[in-house]
Amino acid sequence: MNIDRAVMAFAGTVVLVSVLLAWQVSPAWLLLTGFVGLNLLQAAFTGFCPLAKILAKFGLKPGNAFK
């Protein structure tokens, strides 16, 4: 698995968990979904993703998006 796929898998998991929490616990959990969406959007334009930097330090191979 490379960094790009790990970032997408992590973001998708967080979105799904936050939607489930919003449904079961409180709609305030949708703020987490919004945060993930904003972070993905800014990463698309800037190329900077904090999670990608962390995963690189753990030794994952870089993909095409985050180098």
- Predicted TM-score of the model (pTM): 0.86
Sign of the dihedral through C-alpha 15, 33, 58, 3: positive
49, part of any domain: yes
62, part of any domain: no
Residue 2 bridge partners (DSSP): 61
Total number of domains constituting the chain? 1
Q: Please, which pLDDT band fits residue 38 given cuts at 50, 70 and 90?
A: very high
- Domain residues for the domain of 32 are 3-57
Confidence check: pLDDT of 29 > 80: yes
DSSP assignment letter at 2: B
Secondary structure class of 27 (helix, strand, coil): helix
66, part of any domain: no
pLDDT (tens digit per residue) in 15-24: 999 999 999 9
